Structure formats: structure tokens, C-alpha cells
């Protein structure tokens, strides 16, 4: 009987625990998205669904850990070459797809927040956002099968040397495949995600600076609310990737350098690597948790169920040009800012149940990042229009609809009705 070290036992048992946590987290997100027709109909949630399905399989492979490895090659190993190859395929495919879906989500955020794209327009490119992680993930997974790269890697079947047990499955270039098939991609994703979140943060901060001249002095302490929220949410997104890949990267760097990683790094690697699904769930529900704490909104409530006024007529000083594509975006922002100046007015029933300053802060500047506050030449008052600030009437031309901004809400919990 082989006498396995405590580190080898930890490598076999640890991923089962953390993998099970991630497995349950991804399963819950899948259920949460699929049970709601509204969420199923939104690109953001469908992207998250794809990521969670990928992590579902990846987490399951981590729960299995050493079981599929050929018997006698690792602690608790009870499999065959075939089971190991199967686990290696699903492990590689999921390990590639799950983090790569973060690129698709980051692109989605950039298009919505920075470029001002609407849901219908994003839906036209959705297939590419899914193809970006899925096709290369399946491609690298199948390539590993055909090249016979999958062997026992200590705690799971993945790209590993076949020696000494399987010389026919040994490829001396396995280190290159590890780098090309996964780690180089993961490191690129981490850098890309950090830059994307920084770009979004700067964009929102610039929007808030443009809005400063429209905010009253009583709201001076809340002028940077949106940028602070998105900064915190960006830290969560980037931080979750770092937590998942930090110890694995250290482990691989030491291996590439010809050094033996210490047991602590090995154990931390096998514990944190399977937790991507758990971190995804934390990031996904963080805005809801904050909203629950601050205003008591149920965690399962949709961000689209906001009671913000749906039809508002703009009054001075917001005379925006009509007839262009940015009109609706500008009107939404202006309506939020107007709300902040009308005190406790209850002209619109939809805003009567909520402090006006909170309504303004939570909805201002998120419809389109550019050209929101372009000033237009003075226009003659139209029939039925009032010049008195704070007075407004319903206008079908300025409909504030759902705004298809669910992804923004997920990112920075802006809408808190």
C-alpha cells in the first residue's frame, strides 16, 4: 500500500470541498436565471448562464478530483486511462471557457456603459460573445484528447507528463501546452478585465463631472456615488479572477522556473482554483445584497422593477435637442437630475415612495456615457410646457422605459427601487 503524504491527501480532498461549493453556486445561478422569463430574455443573464454552465462542469471535475486518475497513481484514485482522459477534456474545456466568459461580459459592459448600446443592438452580436469562449475551449479540449495530453496531474487529470506509468501518452512539450492552452489566456484575461473595468470607471467619473453643474449643493456629498459603486464592483470582478488564479500562477511560475512549489502554495492552489463559480455568485448578488441592506428590497427582486417615474416632461434648464439618437439618453439623465431639484414633489406617483435625491443618484448618468449633457440653443416653450423648475407633465416623447440596463445594475447596483 502506497503511503501518501499529507500534501498529497490535501490535494485530493481539498478540491472536493471547494469544488462542491462552486458547483452549488453555479447550479444556483443557472436555476436563478432559467426560472425567470425576463432574465432568460436578457443578453447579460444569458452570458452569465453560459459562464455558470461551464463552471458547473469544471466544478464537477474538481469534486471528482483524483477519482478518475488511474488507480494507484494518486490518493483516492480509482479510475482508468479512459476516465482520466474524459476528465481532462471537461477540465480543460471548462477551465478555458469559464474565465474567457469574463471577456465577453467585460465587452458587454463596455458596449452598454461606454458606448451606450441598447439591448436589441447587443443581441445581434451575442452569438459572438458566446462563441469567443466556447469554440476555443472546445478546440483546446479536443486537441488535448487527440494529442493524448491528459494524464494524472497530482490532484486532477489535465495536461501532464505520462511518465513513468504511461510512456505512450508522454509528450515532453506538455509545459508548452499548459501555457498555450490555459495559463497565457488566463493572464491575458486578468489584464484585459482590469483595463476594461478601469475604462468603465473613468467613463462614469467623467459623466459625473459633466453632471456637477446640474446638481444642487445639497447633493454635493453624493456627486461621486456612481463612480464609487462601479469602482467597488470593478474591484470585485478583478479580485475574483486574482483569487482564482493567483496561487495557481505562482505554482506554475515556480514549475516553469524548475523549482518545487512549497506545500502551502500547492494546497492554496487546489483550494482556490475551483472557487470561480462561488466568486461569480458573490459578484452577481453583491448589488442585491447592498440593496437589501440599504433599502430593504428582496434579494430576488428584478432590477427592472424600479418605480422610477416612466414619463417625465423636461423643464428648464434642460432643453435638449430632439430628433437625434441621443435624445432619449439625455432625457433620462435630465429627468433624474430634475428629480433631485424638486424636493418632495409627488406629482408623479412613481416617485412618491422614494426620496428624490436617492432617485436621482441611482439613475443619473447611466444611459449613455457620451453626449449626455450637450446643451442646445434656447427653444421657444412648446404648448403645454412650463418653465417652472420642478413642474412637469407626461410627454410620450420622453418615455423612460426599462432602459435595458440590467447589466449595469448588476455591476454597480444603480437602480434601487
| Alpha-carbon torsion angle 231, 284, 220, 393, nearest 10 | 140
Q: Residue 231, Cα to own-chain centre: how many angstroms? A: 14
**The model scores a pTM over 0.75:** no
What pLDDT does residue 395 have?
A: 40
- Cβ neighbour number for residue 182 with a 10 Å cutoff: 22
In this structure, are residues 33 and 289 in contact, taking their beta carbons and an 8 Å threshold? Answer: no
Three-state SS annotation for 134-188: HHHHHHHHHHHHHCCCEEECCCCEEECCCCCCCHHHCCCCHHHHHHHHHHHHHHH
**Cα–Cα distance for residue pair 229/126, rounded to 1 Å:** 26
pLDDT tier for residue 235 given thresholds of 50, 70 and 90: confident
What pLDDT does residue 397 have?
A: 34
Q: What are phi and psi of 259, to 5 degrees?
A: -105, 160
In this structure, are residues 412 and 362 in contact, taking their beta carbons and an 8 Å threshold? Answer: no
In the three-class reduction of DSSP (H, G, I as helix; E, B as strand; rest coil), residue 79 is classed as: strand
Angle (nearest 5°) at CA 61 between 234 and 1: 130
Which pLDDT tens digit goes with each residue over 335-374?
444 444 434 444 434 433 443 333 333 333 333 333 333 3
User: Does residue 410 register a pLDDT over 60?
Assistant: no
Which of the residue ranges 115-129, 131-145, 351-365 would you say has the lowest mean pLDDT? Answer: 351-365
**Cα–Cα distance for residue pair 415/417, rounded to 1 Å:** 6
- Interacting residues of 315 by C-beta distance below 8 A, sequence separation 6+: 338, 385, 386, 387, 388, 389, 390, 391, 392
Cis peptide before 48 (omega within 30 of 0): no
C-alpha cell at 414: 444603480
374-387: average pLDDT: 44
144-154: average pLDDT: 95
Residue 311 pairs in a beta bridge with 399
C-alpha cell at 151: 494524464
What pLDDT does residue 369 have?
A: 37
314-322: average pLDDT: 39
Nearest alpha carbon to residue 338 among 214, 212, 227, 204: 214
Which of the residue ranges 31-45, 197-211, 227-241, 296-310 would you say has the lowest mean pLDDT? Answer: 296-310
User: For the chain, what percent of residues have pLDDT higher than 70?
Assistant: 67
Residue 150 pairs in a beta bridge with 159
- Per-residue CA distances from 224 to 114, 210, 339 (Å): 17, 12, 17
Nearest alpha carbon to residue 374 among 323, 316, 326, 315: 326
In the three-class reduction of DSSP (H, G, I as helix; E, B as strand; rest coil), residue 352 is classed as: coil
User: Does residue 174 register a pLDDT over 80?
Assistant: yes
What pLDDT does residue 143 have?
A: 97
**Cα–Cα distance for residue pair 330/369, rounded to 1 Å:** 10
Three-state SS annotation for 56-71: HHHHHHHHHCCCCCEC
- Residue of higher predicted confidence among 286 and 313: 286
Which pLDDT tens digit goes with each residue over 176-228?
999 999 999 999 999 999 899 889 888 888 877 777 767 655 554 555 666 67
What does DSSP say about strands 157-159 and 150-152: parallel, antiparallel, or unpaired? antiparallel
Nearest alpha carbon to residue 398 among 307, 305, 327, 341: 327
Amino acid at each position: 500500500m502506497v503511503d501518501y503524504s499529507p500534501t498529497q491527501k490535501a490535494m485530493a480532498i481539498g478540491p472536493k470541498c471547494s469544488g462542491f461549493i462552486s458547483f452549488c453556486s453555479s447550479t444556483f445561478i443557472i436555476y436563478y436565471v432559467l426560472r425567470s422569463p425576463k432574465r432568460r430574455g436578457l443578453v447579460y443573464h444569458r452570458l452569465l448562464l453560459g459562464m455558470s454552465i461551464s463552471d458547473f462542469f469544471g466544478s464537477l471535475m474538481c469534486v471528482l478530483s483524483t477519482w478518475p486518475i488511474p488507480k494507484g497513481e494518486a490518493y483516492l484514485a480509482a479510475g482508468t486511462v479512459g476516465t482520466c482522459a474524459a476528465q481532462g477534456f471537461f477540465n480543460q474545456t471548462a477551465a478555458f471557457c469559464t474565465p474567457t466568459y469574463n471577456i465577453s461580459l467585460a465587452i458587454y459592459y463596455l458596449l452598454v456603459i461606454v458606448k451606450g448600446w441598447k439591448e436589441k443592438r447587443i443581441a445581434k452580436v451575442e452569438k459572438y460573445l458566446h462563441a469567443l469562449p466556447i469554440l476555443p475551449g472546445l478546440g483546446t479540449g479536443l486537441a488535448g484528447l487527440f494529442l493524448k495530453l491528459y494524464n494524472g496531474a497530482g490532484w486532477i487529470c489535465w495536461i501532464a507528463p505520462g511518465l513513468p506509468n504511461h510512456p505512450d501518452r508522454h509528450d515532453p512539450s506538455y509545459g508548452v501546452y499548459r501555457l498555450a492552452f490555459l495559463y497565457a489566456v488566463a493572464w491575458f484575461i486578468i489584464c484585459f478585465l482590469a483595463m476594461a473595468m478601469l475604462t468603465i470607471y473613468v467613463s462614469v467619473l467623467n459623466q459625473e463631472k459633466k453632471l456637477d453643474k446640474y446638481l444642487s449643493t445639497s447633493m454635493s456629498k453624493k456627486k461621486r456615488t456612481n463612480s464609487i459603486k462601479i469602482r467597488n464592483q470593478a474591484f470585485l470582478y478583478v479580485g475574483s479572477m486574482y483569487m482564482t488564479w493567483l496561487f495557481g500562477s505562482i505554482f506554475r511560475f515556480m514549475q516553469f522556473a524548475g523549482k518545487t512549489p512549497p506545500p502551502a502554495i500547492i494546497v492554496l492552489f487546489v483550494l482556490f482554483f475551483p472557487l470561480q463559480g462561488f466568486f461569480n455568485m458573490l459578484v452577481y448578488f453583491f448589488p442585491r445584497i447592498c440593496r437589501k441592506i440599504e433599502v430593504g428590497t428582496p434579494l430576488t427582486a428584478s432590477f427592472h422593477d424600479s418605480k422610477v417615474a416612466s414619463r417625465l416632461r423636461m423643464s428648464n434648464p434642460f432643453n435638449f435637442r430632439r430628433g437625434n439618437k441621443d435624445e432619449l439618453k439625455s432625457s433620462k439623465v435630465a429627468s433624474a437630475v430634475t428629480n433631485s431639484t424638486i424636493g418632495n414633489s409627488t406629482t408623479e406617483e412613481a416617485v412618491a415612495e422614494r426620496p428624490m435625491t436617492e432617485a436621482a443618484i441611482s439613475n443619473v448618468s447611466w444611459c449613455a456615457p457620451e453626449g449626455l449633457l450637450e446643451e442646445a440653443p434656447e427653444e421657444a416653450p412648446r404648448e403645454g410646457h412650463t418653465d417652472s423648475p420642478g413642474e412637469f407633465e407626461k410627454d410620450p416623447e420622453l418615455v423612460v422605459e426599462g432602459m435595458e440596463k440590467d447589466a449595469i445594475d448588476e455591476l454597480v447596483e444603480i437602480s434601487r427601487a
